[in-house]
Structure formats: structure tokens, C-alpha cells
Amino acid sequence: MEVNRDEAERCIDIATAALTNNQPEKAQRFLEKAQRLFPTEKARVLLELIAKNGFASREGGHSDFSGVSGTRQRQTNTADTRPEEKPSDTSKSYTADQLDAVRRIKQCKDFYEILGVQADASEDELKRSYRKLALKFHPDKNHAPGATEAFKAIGNAYAVLSNANKRQQYDQCGEERRHPSTHSPDSGNFEPDISPEDLFNMFFGGGYPSSNANVYTNGRMRYQRRERRERQRDGGFALFVQVMPILILVIVSALSQILVNSPPYSLSFRSSAGYTQRRLTENLKVPYYVGEQFSREFTGLNLKNLERTVEDDYISNLRNNCWKEKQQKEGMLYRARYFGDNDLYQRAQRARTPSCAKLSEITALLHG
């Protein structure tokens, strides 16, 4: 798989650096891992060389490998040159198209030309162009000479043009624009706030691990973390704005519950807070509780209308309770018949339905 191949290449690079630092044990571990991920001739040759040379350190601390270019160099004066010692076995290949693409980037005169977009390109166009070029020129994919510099130039171009303030300053410079690779250390006019490697990791979730990922972190990583914290704060404010309508609804609902007047009566079986005076309706003798000021507020026709409402609510509650009692009794009878449980059947027959009995009594009074 292509993913395993990239990881194997990374392991080989680590192994080469370990050999440079006179750490053959570490190098062997990573080379064996590289062979398991994606067998290559390069890793096989390096493993054979380690096996032939053994694990003893060279006198004077010299190593058989150079960590700069990755090309193996023998440090021996023996006349016989083995086939595996040829640099071409471990060199990374590249295509003519890749080399031409690198040359094109180096010949670009401004950031817009590097990304291949117009001067009025939108943010989405900049992103699309950067994604395409970053994948094409990443050093782990493009091994042509100068690919690393081209990759950095692409990252710097996007870092500047994606920043509204820096892009405005850059556009105002006109003919004074300079290629990012030609910036002097003290110019800093269009210095990006994030390294090309960190920018790539932000876009692609940390893909293509690079050994020099922290080369350009002098102060800019702190800037990146500060921007990240600011984005987190902005995200918290956006979340608060989204939740605000819900909070308003909850508050309004609570206030409406507080401000609405309490009912003048209660049909509970006992007195409660605010309803301490027990009364009976004149017609059906339905018990209900009222407050201390009830007698002053309700008299005459108002009292009759209120008691009619009390009786209607009472009958409605009886109907609901009667229905529940019947459902419970029928459920017990069904289970008793289904399981053949005589005891359960007898209990179901004896089960009382007081709400139904009271409802029948009230109905008789109304029609009597």
C-alpha cells in the first residue's frame, strides 16, 4: 500500500540518521520495521551492511553513512568494492515532470504566480490551489532537487495570501514584491506566521512526517498557539450566541409561570401551601380546598360558576382514574387466563375500582 510505503521511507530515514549517530541497534530496528511495512532494496542493502560490519562502534566515532544526503559512503581502504555500496541503490528517484515543476516554482515572480491563481482569487480558490500543490511538492513525494524549497515557497505564499492584512500589504507593494526564497533575514515584510511544515500538518492532519518540521518555529509556534486560543474563544462566543435563544425561551417560560395567577382551588385530598380551607360544592358535595381570601373574592354568581368548574374537573378526574382501574383489572385477568393462574384470577375479580364506583354515584345524582 502507498501509505505503508511512505511510512517505510520514513523508517529508513530514521535508520540512516541513527547510523550517522553511531546507533546501529536503533537503525536495525527501524530498517526491519521498514521491510515489514514495504520491502525495498534500499532497506535490504542497509541491513546486510549492518550485519557484515557488526554492532561495534568505529574507532574515532566515524560512521559508514552520511545523514545529509542519505547516500551511503564506505569508510574502508579495502580494494574490493561490493555491489551494495553503490550510491545509486539508495538514492531517491524523481521524474522529469517533477523537476520541471520545481523549476517553474523557482521562476515565479510573486505569490499569486506560485499558487497559480489570479490576484482577485477567493479564499476557497487559494485553499484548493494550496492543497493540490502542497501534495505535489511535499519532499516525501517529490524528490527532485529543489523540491523542498518549492514546497516552502508554496506554504509561505498561502500563509501570506490567506491572511487578509498581510495580503493587503502585499498587494500594495506592487512591483516591489519579492520571491519568498529571496527574502533576506532582516526584511520580514511578508514573513509568514507559520512554517510550511506546520501549515501542511494543519491542512492534512499531520500527514507526511518530516524530520525538519520545527525548522521555522522561532517564535511562530507561539503565535500559532495564540491564534488557536483566540479561535477557541471565538468558538465559545459563537456557541453562546447559538444557545442564547434557548436561554431566552427558558427564562420567559419561568417568568410566565411565576407571573401567572395560581388557580383559586385545589382538588387534592388534603390541604397544601396556599390552600388550607376545605369546602364542599353545593350540588354534588365535591370536596376542594381554597385560600384564606376565597370567601371575599368569590360570592354569588362567581361562586356558583367556580363550583361548577370544580365539579367538572372532579368528574373528569374520576373518568380518567376509572379508565386506568379498568385497564389494570383487565390486564390482571388476561395474564391469569394466559398463564392459567387461578390465584391471580381471583385477585383480579376482587380488585376494586373506587373511581368507577364514585363516577357511577355522581352520574346517578346528576340524572336523578
Comparing 61-65, 129-133, 335-339, the range with the smallest average pLDDT is: 61-65
Cβ count within 10 A of residue 258:
7
CB 150 within 8 A of CB 137: yes
Helix (H, G, I), strand (E, B) or coil at 185: coil
Helix (H, G, I), strand (E, B) or coil at 290: strand
Cβ count within 10 A of residue 180:
23
Residues comprising the chain, all counted: 368
Helix (H, G, I), strand (E, B) or coil at 226: helix
Cα–Cα distance for residue pair 91/42, rounded to 1 Å: 9
Tell me: pLDDT of 76 over 60: no
Closest among 31, 36, 68, 35 to 49, alpha carbons compared: 31
Fold assignment, 108-175+194-201: Helix Hairpins (1.10.287)
Cβ count within 10 A of residue 358:
15
- Mean confidence (pLDDT) of the chain: 76
Share above pLDDT 70 across residues of the chain, in percent, rounded to a whole number: 71
Cα–Cα distance for residue pair 113/140, rounded to 1 Å: 24
Listed in order, the ranges of the chain carrying CATH 1.10.287.110 are 108-175+194-201
Segments in the chain forming alpha helices (H): 2-20, 24-37, 41-53, 96-107, 111-115, 123-137, 147-161, 164-173, 196-204, 220-259, 294-297, 300-339, 342-350, 354-367
**Confidence band for 252, pLDDT divided at 50, 70 and 90:** confident
**Confidence band for 65, pLDDT divided at 50, 70 and 90:** very low
pLDDT on residue 237: 75
Cα–Cα distance for residue pair 298/293, rounded to 1 Å: 9
CB 258 within 8 A of CB 248: no
CB 11 within 8 A of CB 60: no
Tell me: pLDDT of 289 over 90: yes
Cβ count within 10 A of residue 108:
19
pLDDT on residue 241: 80
pLDDT tens digit sequence for 88-103: 333 568 888 888 899 9
Cα–Cα distance for residue pair 293/277, rounded to 1 Å: 10
pLDDT tens digit sequence for 213-226: 333 333 344 444 55
CB 157 within 8 A of CB 180: yes
CB 159 within 8 A of CB 199: yes
Tell me: pLDDT of 256 over 60: yes
Grid cell for residue 50: 549492518
Cα–Cα distance for residue pair 259/256, rounded to 1 Å: 5
Cα–Cα distance for residue pair 273/276, rounded to 1 Å: 7
